[in-house]
Structure 1
C-alpha cells in the first residue's frame, strides 16, 4: 500500500517578516488544511515564500525581502515524510528542488493601488484609486491549428474495405482524449517502425481481402484481426484510452481501428497533430474559465476572459464598482480553474492567503465546493494536492467552515498550555454528580464555597479541586503568572479566573437581596450581567466583549490544539489591558 506523503514541516528564512522560522505541520494530502494565526503573525510572509517560487529558484521581489535587505538570502524548505523516512526539498535564490516534485500555486488578494496623472496646463495632478490586478489565465495562446483529419480520405487510403472505419471526429473533440493523448507522443512515434508497419500491412491485406457490409466485416475482424492489432503496443495503448473514456461504447475491434486512425493521423504530420492538440486544449481551458466565471459573476460588468496581446486574461472593474465578496470569489474561482487546467502531472501545493476570511456565507460555501471538487479531480488522476488555507479565524468556532474532513493547524504555537487536570474537569463538568456544584461554585462566582472532594475522587478528577476555594486559589495563581509575563500559565485557568472575578465585582455592586439571589441563580455570565443591568448597575460594555475570551476557555474539544487560539487572544496587548482593567475592581 502506498504511503501518504505528508508535509512534515515548512522552513522559511528572510522572506518579508519571517527571519528564520520552522512550522511543524504534518499536512495530510487531499484534505483541506486550515492554518490559523493571528493578524500580524506572518501569514502573508508564509504565502509570499511560496508565491516567489519559479521553476529554477526562489525569486523574492524587493518588496518581499526581509527588512528590505538584498544581502539577506531567502530560503524555503519543505520536509516530506512518507512513513519510512524524511526528504528535504530546498529553494533559494540560486536553485529550486521543490518544483521537481510539486506544482505550487498561491491565491491571494489582487488589489493594487493605481495612480492616474492628468496634465492641467502647467500643473500635473494625480488621483489615486484601488484597482484589481488583471489575471493572466494563459500566458501564451497557441497557434490556431486544426486536425487534418478526413474520414473519407482515411477510408480511401485504407483500401477496398475502408468502410469498416468509423469517423473519429468525436475523439478529436473530446477534452479527455486530447488531454491524455498528449502524454503518449513517445509511444505514437513508434508507429512508423519497420516491424510495426509490416504488421499493419499484413492486417490491412487480410481485411481488404474479405467481402461484405461494414457490419459483416467488423464481425469477421473481431474474430480474425483483433489479436493482431492488440499486439501492436502503440495501437493497443491508444485503444485502451478510447475504451476508458467510453467513446460511443465502442467494442474492441472498433476501438483498435479507431486507434489505428489516430496513429496514422499523428504520423502523417506530427507537428500539425501536436499543435492541434495544444490549440484544442486551450479552447477547452478557455471554455472552463468562462463557465466558472459566469457561475460566480453577479455584477453588471459582464466579466469574461479575453484574448489580448497573445494572452488570455480576465480584467476586473475598478474596486469601487465591485463588492469585496464578488471580487474575492471571482478571483478565487479563476485561480482554482487555473490549477485544474494545469498540465503538470505533479502533486500540487495550493496556498490560499486569507481569501476565506472576508467572504459572505454563500460565497464561502461556493469556494469550499470548488476546493472539494478540485481535490476529487486530483485524486482521480492519482495525484496529491495540499490545500493550505491561511486564516486568522479559528475554524473550530465558525460554522461556515464546513469541509467534511478539514484539518486545523495553529502556526503560532504557544508555551502556555491547558493543564490536564483542568481539561478533565471541563470534560466531566456535565456529570450529574458534580454538574450543579461545579457550574455554580467553580466555573462561576458564588459567595459560598462547596466541597465535592468525594465526587471528584470518584470521577478521577483532582481531589483537592473538589473544594471550590482551593480551585479558585489555583486559578488566581495562574492569573498571577499571566500578569507577570510567565510563559507557563494555564490559559483556561486564566479565563476561568477572569469570568469569576468579573461576576464577583458585579455581584458586589448589587444592593438588593432579591437581585443578588436572581444573579446567583441565573445561568451564563452574559445573562448574569443582564440581571445587573436590569437592577440599575452600570455594567461596562467591556465586560460583555470579554465574553469571547472567558467563554472560549470553558469549552474543550478533543484531538485539537485548544490552547493556541486562546493564548493568541490573551497575548493581544489590547485584550490584556481590558482584562487587567476589568478585574481590578
Structure 2
C-alpha cells in the first residue's frame, strides 16, 4: 500500500454514543497523538468502533448499537492525504470493510472486569463482588511440537559415494531462530527441472573427487560452486547457515551441502516442515513475551506468561491482591507487545482508550516508554504507525503525557462563540502601554474604573471593553449566557467568575484592610490573606482556580478555548460556578456597593502582576 501523509479525518456513524460525527484529526504517521475529550463525550464509542472491525465488515455487538437500536447501520470512514497529494477514502460498514484491507488495527481497553460469586449460607444465597483481570491472551492456540525427522547416516547414503563430505545438520534443524529465517526463503522453484539438474550436477561433481573429506571439499571447482549459488533459495539457505556457525559451515561447499539437505527435507516433508516451523514460531513468540515482561514481573505474585488451555496467557490474581499501578502497567505492556505481533501491515492504527489516565507518575512514564519503543521499529521497517491515545486529561494542564514528539487533538472542538474580544485583549496584555492597568483593573476586581480607550484604539482592541467597567459588564453578560446554557465565550466566563469572587471577598473585609487586599497580586494570595483576616470563604473559590487562572494566561500558539470549554461544560464545574455566583449575590445583598477610591495618576501607578 502507498504511504499516507496524513489521516485527515475519521467519520463514525451509529456506534454506541456517537450518532454522526466527523473528527478532523490530521494524524501524522509514527507520532503519538493525544485525542482529548471530556468524560461522556464518546471516547469509548470511538474505541468501540475500531474494536468492532472484522476482516470483511464492521460488526457492532448489540450492547454497543447506537441508542440500543440493533437495526442501526454503523459505519467508519477514514479520509487520508497521500504523499502525492491525492486523497484516499476507506469505508467499513455492515456489508464491507476497506479499512482492514489497508490498515492493521489494534485497540487496547481496560481489562478490569467485575465478578460476582453466590455462596449458599444456611440456605440463603449471599452474593459477593470482586474485581478481576481476565487472562490476557498472548497467543491463541499453541501448535503441537513437531520436530523434523533427520538421519545423518541416511543423508550420507543418499548423497553418494562421498557422502562423508557433507555436514551433519542436526543442530541447524533444532535452532528456532535459524529455522525461522530459513522458513522465510522462497522454495517455489525447488521442483523445477533446472534446479534439480543443477543440484544433481553439483552432487556428481563432489562424488567424483577423491581423498579425505578435507581434500574432497578443497577439490570442488569454483565454477561448480558459483553455478549452484545461482539458485536463489540454495544460496540464501547456504548464507543463513554460514552465519549460524562459521566454523562448521564457513566453507562454501559445506554451506551448500547443508542447504541441499535442508531443501531435500523441505521437498520430501512439506507438511512436517510446515508444522515444525509453526511450533518454532510459537516458541520464538513465547520467548519474546517472557523476555519483554520479565523486567515488569510483579514483586510477589510472580506474574508471567503461562500455558493454559492450549493458549499462552498472562494470568492475574484478583485485583485486590496486586497494586493497581503494577497491574495496569503489566496489562498495558502485555497489550502493546501483543499489538506488535498483530499489527503486520505497512499501515497500522493503535487505539488506546483511557488506559493511561489512572496510572501514577512512575508507571505512566514506564508505559509511555514501551509505546515509544514501538515507533522506531516501524520507522526502521519503512512502515507507518498511528498511535491514538484517548484521554480526558488535557496535556496542556497535566504533565501526564511527555512524549518527545506528540500531537494533541481536541475531539470536542470549541466553536460556540465567535467573539474573541477578551482573548485578543489578554494576548496583548503584556504591551507596556496597558500591562499595569489591565492586570489591576480588568483581570482583578477593583472598585474604580480605568479608561484605556485611546490605548485600545492604538492596539486595535475592541472599543466596547476599553474601560474596566465596560469590560466587567461584558464578561458578566457572557457569564449569564453560560449559566442560562446559551453560546458563550469561556475566557470571558472565567474572568467574570474571578472578578465576582474577588469582589465578594473585598466586600466582607474591614474597611481598613481593603486597600491592602487590592495591592495583592495573585487571586490565591488574596484568598489566603482574607482567610488570615478571619473571612470564611467557600471551598469552591479555591477549587475553581485551575479554571479562572488558566483563562488569563493563554498563549497565542495554543487552542485555549477548547480545553476551557471542556472544563466549563463539566456538570460539577457548572454547579460549582452556580454556587459561587449565588454566594456572591447573597454577599452583594448584605453590603453596599464598594465605593470608588482615589487612584494615583497612571505615571505613578504601581505595576501589579497577575
Which 10-residue stretch deviates more, 455-464 or 290-299? 455-464
SS in 2 for 1:146: coil
Q: 2:86 maps to which residue?
A: 85
| Cα distance in 1, alignment partners of residues 157 and 435 from structure 2 | 89
Q: 1:388 maps to which residue?
A: 388
Q: 1:508 maps to which residue?
A: 507
1:132 has 2:124 as partner = no
SS in 2 for 1:192: coil
Q: Structure 2 vs 1, CA of residues 435 and 343 (structure 1 numbering), >3 Å: closer, same or farther?
A: closer
Q: 1:526 maps to which residue?
A: 524
SS in 2 for 1:99: helix
Q: 2:495 maps to which residue?
A: 496
Q: 1:39 maps to which residue?
A: 39
| Cα distance in 2, alignment partners of residues 442 and 349 from structure 1 | 47
Q: Which protein has the larger Cα radius of gyration, Structure 1 or Structure 2?
A: 2
8 Å Cα contact 1:33-1:409 kept in structure 2: yes
In the TM superposition, residue 364 of structure 1 has moved relative to its aligned partner by: 0.6
| Cα distance in 1, alignment partners of residues 307 and 315 from structure 2 | 11
Q: 2:594 maps to which residue?
A: none
Q: 1:267 maps to which residue?
A: 267
| Cα distance in 2, alignment partners of residues 562 and 154 from structure 1 | 75
Q: Structure 2 vs 1, CA of residues 281 and 540 (structure 1 numbering), >3 Å: closer, same or farther?
A: same
| Cα distance in 1, alignment partners of residues 314 and 562 from structure 2 | 40
| Cα distance in 1, alignment partners of residues 489 and 131 from structure 2 | 45
Which 10-residue stretch deviates more, 56-65 or 36-45? 56-65
1:173 has 2:175 as partner = yes
Q: 1:369 maps to which residue?
A: 369
Q: 2:574 maps to which residue?
A: 576
Task: Tell me the TM-score normalised to structure 1 length.
Answer: 0.87
5+ residue gaps, structure 1, are none
Q: Structure 2 vs 1, CA of residues 466 and 121 (structure 1 numbering), >3 Å: closer, same or farther?
A: closer
| Cα distance in 1, alignment partners of residues 271 and 557 from structure 2 | 57
| Cα distance in 2, alignment partners of residues 212 and 451 from structure 1 | 110
8 Å Cα contact 1:417-1:563 kept in structure 2: no
8 Å Cα contact 1:178-1:281 kept in structure 2: no
| Cα distance in 2, alignment partners of residues 190 and 364 from structure 1 | 51
| Cα distance in 2, alignment partners of residues 359 and 271 from structure 1 | 48
Quote the RMSD (CA, aligned, Å). 3.5
| Cα distance in 2, alignment partners of residues 23 and 441 from structure 1 | 41
Q: Structure 2 vs 1, CA of residues 465 and 66 (structure 1 numbering), >3 Å: closer, same or farther?
A: closer
In the TM superposition, residue 282 of structure 1 has moved relative to its aligned partner by: 0.8
In the TM superposition, residue 178 of structure 1 has moved relative to its aligned partner by: 5.3
Pairs within 5 Å for 1:143-158:
143-148=144-149
| Cα distance in 2, alignment partners of residues 217 and 449 from structure 1 | 107
Pairs within 5 Å for 1:16-27:
16-27=16-27
| Cα distance in 2, alignment partners of residues 260 and 532 from structure 1 | 90
Pairs within 5 Å for 1:416-455:
416=416, 422-450=422-450
Pairs within 5 Å for 1:532-543:
532-543=530-541
| Cα distance in 2, alignment partners of residues 149 and 460 from structure 1 | 87
Q: Structure 2 vs 1, CA of residues 493 and 209 (structure 1 numbering), >3 Å: closer, same or farther?
A: farther
Task: Tell me the TM-score normalised to structure 2 length.
Answer: 0.83
In the TM superposition, residue 134 of structure 1 has moved relative to its aligned partner by: 2.0
Count, aligned residues = 579
| Cα distance in 1, alignment partners of residues 342 and 260 from structure 2 | 29
| 1:324-372 deviation per Cα after TM superposition (whole angstroms, max 9, x unaligned) | 2222211111111111222734422211111101111111111111111
Pairs within 5 Å for 1:42-81:
42-81=42-81
1:550 has 2:548 as partner = yes
In the TM superposition, residue 39 of structure 1 has moved relative to its aligned partner by: 1.0
8 Å Cα contact 1:418-1:491 kept in structure 2: no
Q: Structure 2 vs 1, CA of residues 290 and 362 (structure 1 numbering), >3 Å: closer, same or farther?
A: same
Q: Structure 2 vs 1, CA of residues 580 and 465 (structure 1 numbering), >3 Å: closer, same or farther?
A: same
Q: 2:298 maps to which residue?
A: 298
SS in 2 for 1:393: coil
8 Å Cα contact 1:449-1:469 kept in structure 2: yes
Q: Structure 2 vs 1, CA of residues 169 and 348 (structure 1 numbering), >3 Å: closer, same or farther?
A: farther
| 1:175-226 deviation per Cα after TM superposition (whole angstroms, max 9, x unaligned) | 4x55555454xx2121221112223333444556567998898888796456
Q: 1:339 maps to which residue?
A: 339
SS in 2 for 1:79: strand
8 Å Cα contact 1:6-1:26 kept in structure 2: yes
8 Å Cα contact 1:418-1:563 kept in structure 2: no
In the TM superposition, residue 252 of structure 1 has moved relative to its aligned partner by: 10
| Cα distance in 1, alignment partners of residues 299 and 231 from structure 2 | 55
SS in 2 for 1:78: strand
5+ residue gaps, structure 2, are 586-610
SS in 1 for 2:96: coil
SS in 2 for 1:317: coil
Q: Structure 2 vs 1, CA of residues 248 and 388 (structure 1 numbering), >3 Å: closer, same or farther?
A: farther
Q: Structure 2 vs 1, CA of residues 498 and 193 (structure 1 numbering), >3 Å: closer, same or farther?
A: same
Q: 1:311 maps to which residue?
A: 311
8 Å Cα contact 1:168-1:258 kept in structure 2: no
Which 10-residue stretch deviates more, 433-442 or 535-544? 433-442
| Cα distance in 1, alignment partners of residues 239 and 319 from structure 2 | 50
